[in-house]
Amino acid sequence: MKHAYRAARIIDGVSEQALAGHALLLEGSRIVGIARAAELGSDVPVTDLGDCTLLPGLIDSHVHLVDDGSPRPRGLVETESRGMTLLRSAQRASNSLRAGVTALRDMGAPTGVIPTLKDAARAGVAESPTIVCCDTQLTITGGYGRRENVLGREVDGADDMRKTVRKLFKDGADFVKLMASGQVSNAGAGLEAAQFTLQEMQAAVDEAHRFGRKVAVHAVGLKSIEVSVAAGVDCIEHGNFLTEALAARMAECGIFLVPTLLPYRVLADPPAELVLPDDVRRKSQVAWEKSLEAVRLARAAGVAIGAGTDSGGPCIAHNSVAREIALLIEAGLPAMQAVQSATRINAQILGLDDAGTLQAGKTADVLAVDGDPLRDPDAFTRVRLVLKAGRVVTGAPAAAARDGAQGRYLGEESSFSCRC
C-alpha cells in the first residue's frame, strides 16, 4: 500500500535546492518518488510532518562501533569478553539508527564482532543501520593499527596480502581496510613513512577488485597517500597531507576522500579529560589545519568527499554525523553539498546502490528533522521520523504524526555533542 509523507522541505540527495510543497511517496520498503503535494491522489494516505525537512537517512562512512568514545576508547574492548563487546556494539548501532543513521561503514574491530552483528541484524535479532564492515584492519608487522590479541592483522608481502584478503572476505568482511600510515600519536611508522609497499597494496586492490569489493586506506601522511593513490585504492581516510597534484590524480581515478575532520578538531582543541603529550598536541594542530587544506584541495580538484566521523574514537560520541557535516561546511563546502556528502556520496563509498537519495526505486531509508538543517545543523538533533526500509524506527505512527506528536530522540551515546 502506498503512503505519502509531506514536509515543508524535501532534500532528495541530488537536487541543489530543497523542494517545497512536495511529498515523498512510498510503497512498502521502496520509494515511489517525490510528487507535488497537491497532485497526490485522494486514495493515498498522507502524513503531514509540518515544518520538517525530509531527507535520505544519514550515512556515516567512518565508524568504530566497538569503541566507546571515551578518552581511552578501547579500554573496555581490551578487558571485556567478546560477547560484551558485541552487545555494546549492537546497542550503539541501534541508538544510531534511532537517531537517523540508516547506514554506516565500520572501520575496524576485533575479528568476528561486526560480521556477527550483521548476521544478527539479518536474522531480526538486532536492530541496526545497514552496516558495511572491514571486520578488522590490516597493517604491517609492528605497524600502526594492530593491538595484540585485540584487533588488526599483520600482513607482509604480496602473497600474504592476497591470502589475508581472501580470509577476510571468508570471515564476513565487505571491504578491505589498510593502515598505510601511522597517526599523529607517532604510533607505527608515524606520519613520514608509508607502512605498506606499493606491491603489497596493489595485491590487496587486485584481490578485492576481482571480487567486486573495495579498498579503503588509513593514510594521514604524504607518502602513504602517494602509495595509496598509485595502488588504485577506492577511498582515502583522513588524507590530511594531500597535495594539489595528488588531489588531481584522485579525481581522475575516482578515488573518494573521507577527511574525518571531527577527530582532528577534537585533538587540536582537546577537552580537559583528553590529556595529550605536548608534541602530539602540536602535531594534532598541524593535522587539523592540513585536513582543512585537504578538503579545499579535494574540492577544487573535483574529488568526491564523504562524511565520516571516526565515532567511537577519543572523545567522539557515536552518532556525530551532524558535527562532521558542520565541520565540512566550516571547511568550505556549501551546506547542501555537506548533506550530500553524508547521504549520496557516502552511499557510493559504502557501495550501497539503493541508498543515499530519495529517488524512485531506492530503499525507503528516510529521516525527518524539525526545521531546516541547511540553515541550522542542530536540526539533525531534532529527529521526528526515521524509516528503515519503509518501517518506522523512530517517530510517531502515521495517525499520531498527523496530530503533531513529537518523535523520540533516544539514546545514551546518541548525543549531538561530545560528552567527555
Least gap, CB of 238 to Zn ion (angstroms): 8
Binding mask 292-321 for Zn ion (x = CB under 5 A): ------------------x-----------
Residue 107 or 349 with smaller CB distance to Zn ion: 107
Beta carbon of residue 186, minimum distance to Zn ion (angstroms, whole number): 17
Site string (66-105) toward Zn ion, x via CB under 5 A: ----------------------------------------
Q: Residue type for 11, please? A: I
Amino acid of residue 22: H
7 makes contact with Zn ion (CB under 5 A)? no
The alpha-helical segments, DSSP class H, found in 194-320 are 198-210, 222-231, 244-253, 261-268, 278-301
Shortest distance, CB of residue 62 to Zn ion, whole angstroms? 6
**223: number of Cβ within 10 Å:** 17
For 130, the enclosing helix (H) or strand (E) is: strand 130-133
Grid cell listed for 58: 544519514
In whole angstroms, give the CA distance from residue 2 to residue 323.
Answer: 34
Cβ at position 109, least distance to Zn ion in Å: 11
Nearer to Zn ion, 215 or 396 (CB): 215
| C-beta of 78 vs 376, nearer to Zn ion | 78
Ramachandran sector of residue 21 (left: φ over 0; alpha: ψ -120 to 50; beta: rest) = left
Closest approach of Zn ion to the CB of residue 148, in Å:
19
The closest residue (CB) to Zn ion is 310
Q: Which of 302, 387, 413 is nearest to 31 (CA)?
A: 387
Considering only the stretches 8-16, 107-115, 373-381, 387-395, report the one whose residues sit in contact with Zn ion under the rule CB under 5 A.
107-115
- Report the nearest approach of Zn ion to the CB of residue 184 (Å): 13
Closer residue to Zn ion, CB minimum distance, 66 or 107: 107
Pick one of 107, 176, 180, 268: the residue that binds Zn ion (CB under 5 A).
107
Total residues at interface with Zn ion (CB under 5 A):
2
Q: Which helix (H) or strand (E) holds 219?
A: strand 215-219
Tell me the closest approach of the beta carbon of residue 341 to Zn ion, in angstroms.
Answer: 17
Nearest CB to Zn ion, comparing residues 194 and 316: 316
> What's the CA gap between 109 and 104, in Å, rounded?
14
Contact 59/346 with Cβ under 8 angstroms?
Answer: yes
Q: How does 248-266 read in b/e, with b if 16+ C-beta sit within 10 Å?
A: bbbbeeebbbbbbbbbbbb
Rounded Cα distance, 21 and 224, in Å? 48
CB of 64 to Zn ion, least distance (A): 6
Among residues 314, 294, 289, 317, the alpha carbon closest in space to that of 306 is found at 294
- If the CB atoms of residues 23 and 179 are measured against Zn ion, the closer one turns out to be 179
What residues make contact with Zn ion under the rule CB under 5 A? Answer: 107, 310
